[in-house]
Amino acid sequence: MENKIDVRDFNFYYSSFHALKGLTIPIRERQITALIGPSGCGKSTFLRSLNRMNDTIAGTSATGEVLLDGKNIYAPDVDVTDLRNRVGMVFQRPNPFPQSIYDNVAFGPRVTGRASGRALDVIVEESLEGAGLWGEIKHRLRDSALSLNPGQQQRLCIARAIAVKPEVILMDEPCSALDPVATLKVEELMRVLAKEYTIVIVTHNMQQAARVSDFTGFFWLGELVEFGPTTQLFSTPQQELTESYITGRRG
Partner 1 sequence: MSRQQINRLATALITGVAILVVVPIVLVILFVIYNGIGTISWEFISAPPTNGMREGGIWPALLGTIFLTFGTAIISFPLAIGAAIYLSEYAADNRMTRMVRLAIVNLAGIPSIVYGLFGLGAFVLFMQFGTSILAGSLTLGILTLPVVISTAEEAIASVPQQFRTVSLSLGATRWQTIRHQVLPHALPGILTGIILGLGRAAGETAPILFTVAAFYLPDLPHSIFDQTMALPYHLYVISTQVPGMPLSIQYGTALVLLLIVLSLTLSATFVRTSMRRRREW
Q: Using the minimum distance from each CB to partner 1, give the nearer residue, 26 or 108.
A: 108
Q: Which stretch binds partner 1 (CB under 8 A): 52-60, 67-75, 119-127, 214-222?
A: 52-60
At position 194, the amino acid (one-letter code) is A
Sign of CA dihedral 219, 221, 222, 223: negative
Q: Which of 31, 33, 44, 51 binds partner 1 (CB under 8 A)?
A: 51
CA atoms within 13 A on the CB side of 203: 25
Q: How far is the CB of 148 from partner 1 (least distance, A)?
A: 12
Asked whether position 178 contacts partner 1 by CB under 8 A, the answer is no
Phi-psi bin for 78: left (phi > 0), alpha (psi -120 to 50), beta? Answer: beta
Reduced DSSP (H G I as helix, E B as strand, rest coil) percent helix, strand, coil of the chain, to 5: 40, 25, 35
Q: Which is nearer to partner 1, 133 or 224 (CB)?
A: 133
Return the residues of window 129-168 that contact partner 1 according to CB under 8 A.
144, 146, 157, 160-161, 164
Residue 101 or residue 206: which is nearer to partner 1 going by CB?
101
Closest CA to 221 of 17, 25, 1, 30: 17
Rounded distance between C-alpha atoms, residue 17 and residue 20, angstroms: 9
Which is closer to partner 1, CB of 155 or CB of 245? 155
Report the site for partner 1 in 79-118 (rule: CB under 8 A). 81-82, 84-85, 88-89, 91, 93, 95, 97-98, 107-108, 110-112
Of 97 and 134, the one with the shorter C-beta distance to partner 1 is 97
Nearer to partner 1, 112 or 205 (CB): 112
Position 53 contacts partner 1 (CB under 8 A): yes
Beta-sheet strands, E only, within the chain: 3-14, 17-28, 32-36, 60-68, 71-72, 87-90, 168-172, 198-202, 215-220, 223-229
Smallest distance from partner 1 to CB 145, Å: 9
The answer to whether the beta carbons of residues 97 and 153 sit under 8 Å apart is: no
Closest CB to partner 1 among residues 14, 251: 14
Name the strands in the sheet holding 168-172, side by side, starting at the edge strand that comes first in the sequence.
87-90, 168-172, 198-202, 32-36, 215-220, 223-229
Kindly calculate the radius of gyration of the chain based on its CA atoms and give it in whole angstroms.
Answer: 18
**Binding status of residue 4 toward partner 1 by CB under 8 A:** no
What are the φ and ψ backbone dihedral angles of 74, each rounded to 5 degrees? -95, 5
Size of the site for partner 1 (CB under 8 A): 26
Q: Which residues bind partner 1 (CB under 8 A)?
A: 51, 53, 56, 58, 81-82, 84-85, 88-89, 91, 93, 95, 97-98, 107-108, 110-112, 144, 146, 157, 160-161, 164
